[in-house]
Amino acid sequence: MNQTHLQAFQAESSSAIISIPTCYDRKTSQHVVRWKDIQRNFGDAIRIMNGEASVLFLMDDDLEE
């Protein structure tokens, strides 16, 4: 049975929490949320924060986002 993994997000300007399904990245063996999926839910998003820390984007072999 496949299990859906979700990650919760909240805009700074709202108390509403939005859960976005993750995708499994075979290269890192981790569940990740694609930036385009975040932007579909938060059209004006420019960064992701976890408390006071900025969340880095997943990069390719050339260290490009």
**24-54: per-residue pLDDT in tens?**
988 889 999 999 999 999 999 999 999 999 9
Q: What percent of the chain has pLDDT over 90?
A: 69
Q: Look at residue 20 and give its three-state secondary structure.
A: strand
In our burial notation (b when 16+ CB lie closer than 10 A, e otherwise), range 10-47 reads eeeeeeeeeebebeeeeeeeeeebeeebbeeebeeeee
Kindly report the pTM of this predicted structure: 0.81
